[in-house]
Amino acid sequence: MARMEYVDIDSANDRVKELLDKLEHKNIFRMLAHSPSHFETYVRMGNAIRFKGELDPGLRELAITRAGILCKSEYEVIAHKRIGKGVGLDDAKIGALESGADSDTYDDLEKDVLRFTDEIVKSDSVSDELFHRLQEKLSPGALVELHLAVGFYIMTSKFLVTFGVDLQK
């Protein structure tokens, strides 16, 4: 149950109403909308991460969902398992995310992406060895985008948990 009320749409400004309409009035956005300027900036950054980069969408969704798992954000995990399926991840890969890089379901690059995510979430640092392996496999832009996606979704996961944002049915 949410720890505070969602934004009152009737008293929201026109830009917030417009964004909420585009975003199907999902609870995360209804909570973020309490701060209109931050809400709009959050939406722009999320849109860039999900739709404007060069990082492979499957790798991105593996990392985002794994970050949600590690941050114990059920809302985030459910949402991004669905998104992962939509970008072509199969059920086996989605199902193995709880095990992460220890699962034989993933190829070497996918395992390294999951290790990268784990290291960022758990230790705030990435080993030189792992960083260099990813640097050999991903473009500089994709590697930057991977880190930004993980960081953004750590923030998002912790926001969802802190505010007790309710899952949509």
Per-residue pLDDT, 97: 97
* Chain-centre distance for alpha carbon 137: 22
Dihedral angle over CA of 101, 105, 110, 114, nearest 10: -30
Average pLDDT over residues 150-158: 98
Band of pLDDT at residue 49, cut at 50, 70 and 90: very high
Dihedral angle over CA of 116, 118, 119, 124, nearest 10: 120
Between CA 143 and CA 131 the distance in angstroms is 9
Domain spanning 57-163, CATH class: mainly alpha
Asked whether the beta carbons of 54 and 141 are under 8 A apart, the reply is yes
Cα distances (angstroms) measured from residue 99 to each of 21, 77, 94, 95, 124: 37, 14, 10, 9, 20
Which tens digit of pLDDT belongs to each residue from 57-86? 999 999 999 999 999 999 999 999 999 999
Which tens digit of pLDDT belongs to each residue from 79-110? 999 999 999 999 999 999 999 999 999 999 99
Per-residue pLDDT, 124: 77
Between CA 120 and CA 22 the distance in angstroms is 32
Count of all residues that appear for the chain in the document: 169
**Which tokens is 164 given?**
């007790």
Average pLDDT over residues 34-54: 96
Per-residue pLDDT, 169: 64
Band of pLDDT at residue 133, cut at 50, 70 and 90: very high
Average pLDDT over residues 7-24: 95
Per-residue pLDDT, 113: 98
Query: For the chain, which residues make up each domain, given as ranges?
Result: 12-51, 57-163
Q: Tell me the whole-structure pTM to 2 decimals.
A: 0.94
Band of pLDDT at residue 168, cut at 50, 70 and 90: confident
Average pLDDT over residues 150-154: 98
